[in-house]
Structure formats: structure tokens, C-alpha cells
């Protein structure tokens, strides 16, 4: 096995077990509350954007509460934006004054986040944008995304990109050196020629690995949400990352390399339609949809990194809190069908999805069926079945109207009913199926 792949497999063992994480996009952009890209989409100058720093009070920021919420939801890791594209640092960087410790809140928000989540036994990660719209040596005019991309007066003469890289490396080194053990470094994102060698990615990864050899890294020093980069090849670069990071979608067949070997991946998805706090955006996904997204990711060998966008006071929106609570109640009963599970290598059933861990299959029944639930081609292969939520026995059915289809196995949720029967859990009813040793 290729050394990069071997190392990646070792480092991601906990990650492939965890399956479910919290993404947190928080920063100055929570004040205008129109999403984290507003400097670029509204082409705001520094002078128009930076005064928001003087209002950043975060008076209700209580990361212990966030950590408890994540734990209750069944999340096993959490990733907070330490610095987004706007350049504002939620940590006490010695390399800039554009940071939370210089805002009215006067706090190192990253340090408090890390301490609170570690205390709850949740693995921790930091998102760091390699893009920086504030730094004078980052390309402005003509760049694909910079807020001043259409302003010739912001020409790139006299911008020294090496100065910017020194700043970027320095901040990443601060995060890796001054904040204890990190489990994830989530870099974002590459585009056009702003990728790979432009970031000095090989040297960057060498630095990261020399300080924190076990931290896992996403694939966006090479790619973005739209392409996975060399992590899918059989000869991945040293900066190809430890996991792929499809965004706002779930890969139709999961993600495998060119030889068909599963590779670690996570879909990062928002609860409404924005990463950062967007006061107008109340289009939240239901708990049912979140559970189905999580099951879909796991059924395809991946993780779900589910995003919350706290407001400027440091509060996670009430809609998000309610959804996470409902998801957590389901996870409490059914987490065994998620953690450490993956591809079942079976066709997707009509009624829902399969996840699998070793010799145990989990049938996630999401839709009522006319009559018995069908386990295709599984006649004679099942040791026993249990309703996961209460360990009650589920017996195989051999009702008269099923006999003709004898290559399949069937079951009813209610042994006394031979017709359609409401699902015990309308969110997703999980049946634990112990397969006979082959
Ligand atoms: C995209 C967005 C960025 C967000 C990231 C999360 O790159 O541009 O704002 O942080 O997705 O995956």
C-alpha cells in the first residue's frame, strides 16, 4: 500500500469510527448576518467591513453549552473556524491585530472552544482559511473571489505573496503549537492557480506533520468542494489530505480511489442554507432529514459534518438547537448503526438504507411498506434480528403471500399483523441483523 495511503488509513481510524461531527462557522460576519461571504459578494472595502470588529461582544458565548449540545446530539468531533476568508482571527494571534482578543469580547474564542469540547470528550478541529481578503499581500484586483477583484485601484503591484505565505504559515504554526493537541486541521480552499505549490503545500504539510503528526487534514490544499484532488488517485501527493470534503451534497456512491478502495470522506452540510449566521435564513432541514443524511453518508462509507452558525452574541440559533436535540434522541437509541459503520456492499433497498459493521447489518427502514419488509436475497443468511431501539426480537416472516419470493427474507414490525403497520420510529426504524458466518 502507498505510504501516503497507509499513513492516512492509520490516522483516520478514530475519524471513520466517529462518523458524525459539528462544524461551527462563527466570526464578524455574524453581525451583518448575511453569510460569511458577504465581504466578497457585496464587494465591501476593509473600511466598510472592519468596524464590525468594534461590535463583536459575544456576550452570551458559552462553549461549554455548545459542547454539551454536540455531545447530546451524538457528535464525536467538532471543527470551529479559527479564521475565515475575511481574515478575522478568533484566536490571539501574535501576527495580527484583527482578532477577537482585540474586539470588545477580549477573549481567545478558539482556546475556550477547544477546552470546553475536550472536556466533553469530543475530538477537536480548527478550520483555517488559506484565503485572506484582509492581508495586503494577498492578490486583490483580478482575483476570482477577492472583494476588490473589480477595482483596478487595488492592483497587485508591490504585493509580495511570499510575505503572505510567511503570515499564513506563522498563524498555522501558532494554532498547532499554542493550543494543545488538535485532531483535525480543516484548510479551505483552493481555486484556479491558487492551489498546491502556490500555497507551498508540501512545505506546509511537512510543518504540520512535524508539530502534530496525528492531526488529520482535509483535501482542500489541492481541491475545494468541487474537486477532490489526488486523494482519489493511487499516487496521492503529500498534501492530498486524509479525507475528502464534498460540500452541500452527498456523493452518489460514496468516494473511492481509482482502484475502488474506499477513502475517508465527510459531507459538510449546513442546517439552513448558510455556513455563517444569516438572520433571514429560516429554511432549516428537519431532524428527519438530518438523520437520513447521516445514514446516507455512513451507508456510503463517509461522515457527516453538520454546520451550525452562531449569532454575534455567541448563541446557536434556536432552530438548530431543537433539531440537534431531536437528532440526539434518535442517536441515543440507534447510534450503534452509525458509529464505526460503513458500506454494506448491498443494493440500496426500496424502504431505506443499509449500514454495516463487520457481520452485523443495520436495516434503516425509512418508509412504510405494503406488507412485509423485504431483505432481498437474504433467505437463509440471517442468524437473528432485533429492533435496535429496545433489543426486542424481530422474527422472519413466512406469511402465505411471501412464499413465492423465497430467495428473500421478510419481516413485519408487528408479528401479529400481516399488513402495513406504522413504523415504530417514523424518523428511521433500525433493525439489527446478525448475519450467519459465511
Ligand atoms: C465553502 C464556502 C466557505 C465555507 C466552506 C465550508 O468553501 O466558501 O465559506 O467555509 O465551504 O466547507
pLDDT at 3: 84
| Whether residue 319 is found in the same domain as residue 358 | no
| Whether residue 188 is found in the same domain as residue 135 | yes
Average pLDDT over residues 86-94: 98
For the segment 326-368, what is each residue's pLDDT rounded down to a tens digit? 999 999 999 999 999 999 999 999 999 999 999 999 999 999 9
Residue 347 counted as domain residue: no
For the segment 403-438, what is each residue's pLDDT rounded down to a tens digit? 999 999 999 998 777 776 789 999 999 999 999 987
From the DSSP assignment, how many helices (H) and strands (E) are in the chain? 10, 14
Q: Which domain holds residue 34?
A: 3-337
What three-state secondary structure class fits 39?
A: helix
Whole-number Å distance between alpha carbons of 115 and 102: 21
Going by C-alpha positions, the residue among 282, 354, 363, 352 that lies closest to residue 323 is 282
- Phi then psi for residue 145, to 5 deg, are -125, -15
How far the first Cα of the chain sits from its last, in Å, is 27
Residue 77 counted as domain residue: yes
- For ligand 1, say whether the CB of 56 is within 6 Å of any of its atoms: no
Q: How confident is the model at residue 131 (pLDDT cuts 50, 70, 90)?
A: very high
Rg (CA), the chain: 24
- For ligand 1, say whether the CB of 247 is within 6 Å of any of its atoms: yes
Measured by CA distance, the residue closest to atom 8 of ligand 1 is 37
CATH number of the domain that residue 119 is part of: 3.20.20.80
- For ligand 1, say whether the CB of 108 is within 6 Å of any of its atoms: no
Q: Where is average pLDDT lowest: 9-23, 63-77, 353-367, 420-434? A: 420-434
The answer on pLDDT for 172 being more than 90 is yes
The answer on pLDDT for 2 being more than 90 is no
| Whether residue 282 is found in the same domain as residue 427 | no
pLDDT at 396: 95
> Which residues have a Cβ under 8 Å from the Cβ of 195 and sit 6 or more positions away?
201, 221, 222, 223
Q: How many domains are contained in the chain?
A: 2
Whole-number Å distance between alpha carbons of 76 and 15: 9
- For ligand 1, say whether the CB of 36 is within 6 Å of any of its atoms: yes
Q: Which helix (H) or strand (E) holds 3?
A: helix 3-11
* Angle CA 108–110–111, to nearest 5: 70
| Whether residue 244 is found in the same domain as residue 289 | yes
Indicate the pTM of the whole model: 0.97
For the segment 383-393, what is each residue's pLDDT rounded down to a tens digit? 999 999 999 99
CATH number of the domain that residue 409 is part of: 2.60.40.1180
| Whether residue 143 is found in the same domain as residue 196 | yes
408: left (phi over 0), alpha (psi -120 to 50) or beta: beta
For the segment 101-115, what is each residue's pLDDT rounded down to a tens digit? 999 999 999 999 999
Residue 342 counted as domain residue: no
Q: How confident is the model at residue 61 (pLDDT cuts 50, 70, 90)?
A: very high
Amino acid at each position: 500500500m502507498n505510504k501516503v495511503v497507509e499513513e492516512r488509513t492509520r490516522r483516520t481510524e478514530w475519524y471513520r469510527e466517529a462518523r458524525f461531527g459539528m462544524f461551527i462557522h462563527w466570526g464578524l460576519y455574524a453581525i451583518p448576518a448575511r453569510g460569511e461571504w458577504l465581504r466578497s459578494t457585496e464587494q465591501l472595502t476593509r473600511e466598510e467591513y472592519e468596524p464590525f470588529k468594534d461590535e463583536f461582544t459575544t456576550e452570551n458565548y458559552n462553549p461549554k453549552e455548545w459542547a454539551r449540545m454536540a455531545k447530546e446530539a451524538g457528535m464525536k468531533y467538532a471543527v470551529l473556524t479559527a479564521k475565515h476568508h475575511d481574515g478575522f482571527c478568533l484566536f490571539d494571534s501574535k501576527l495580527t491585530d484583527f482578532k477577537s482578543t482585540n474586539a470588545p469580547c477580549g477573549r481567545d474564542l478558539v482556546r475556550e472552544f477547544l477546552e470546553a469540547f475536550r472536556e466533553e470528550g469530543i475530538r477537536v478541529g480548527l478550520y483555517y482559511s488559506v484565503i485572506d481578503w484582509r492581508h495586503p499581500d494577498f492578490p486583490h484586483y483580478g482575483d476570482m473571489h477577492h472583494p476588490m477583484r473589480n477595482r483596478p485601484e487595488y492592483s497587485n503591484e508591490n504585493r509580495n505573496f511570499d510575505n503572505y505565505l510567511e503570515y499564513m504559515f506563522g498563524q498555522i504554526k501558532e494554532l498547532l503549537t499554542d493550543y494543545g493537541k488538535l485532531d483535525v486541521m480543516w484548510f479551505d480552499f483552493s481555486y484556479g492557480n491558487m492551489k498546491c505549490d502556490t500555497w507551498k503545500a508540501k512545505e506546509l504539510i511537512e510543518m504540520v506533520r512535524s508539530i502534530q503528526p496525528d492531526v488529520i487534514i482535509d483535501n482542500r490544499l489541492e481541491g475545494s468542494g468541487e474537486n477532490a484532488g489526488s486523494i482519489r488517485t493511487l499516487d496521492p501527493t503529500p498534501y492530498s489530505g486524509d479525507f475528502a470534503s464534498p460540500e452541500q451534497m452527498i456523493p452518489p456512491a460514496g468516494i473511492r480511489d481509482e482502484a475502488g478502495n474506499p477513502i475517508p470522506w465527510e459531507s459538510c452540510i449546513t442546517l439552513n442554507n448558510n455556513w455563517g449566521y444569516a438572520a433571514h435564513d429560516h429554511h432549516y432541514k428537519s431532524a428527519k432529514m438530518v438523520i437520513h443524511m447521516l445514514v446516507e453518508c455512513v451507508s456510503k462509507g463517509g461522515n457527516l459534518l453538520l454546520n451550525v452558525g452562531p449569532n454575534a452574541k455567541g448563541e446557536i440559533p434556536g432552530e438548530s438547537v431543537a433539531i440537534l436535540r431531536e437528532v440526539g434522541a434518535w442517536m441515543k437509541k440507534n447510534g450503534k448503526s452509525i458509529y464505526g459503520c460503513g458500506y454494506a456492499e448491498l443494493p440500496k433497498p426500496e424502504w431505506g438504507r443499509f449500514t454495516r459493521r463487520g457481520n452485523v447489518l443495520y436495516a434503516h427502514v425509512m418508509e412504510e411498506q405494503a406488507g412485509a419488509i423485504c431483505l432481498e436475497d437474504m433467505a437463509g443468511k440471517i442468524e437473528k434480528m432485533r429492533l435496535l431501539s429496545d433489543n426486542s426480537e424481530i422474527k422472519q416472516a413466512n406469511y402465505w403471500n411471501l412464499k413465492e419470493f423465497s430467495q428473500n427474507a421478510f419481516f413485519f414490525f408487528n408479528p401479529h399483523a400481516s399488513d402495513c403497520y406504522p413504523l415504530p420510529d417514523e424518523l428511521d426504524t433500525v433493525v439489527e441483523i446478525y448475519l450467519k458466518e459465511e
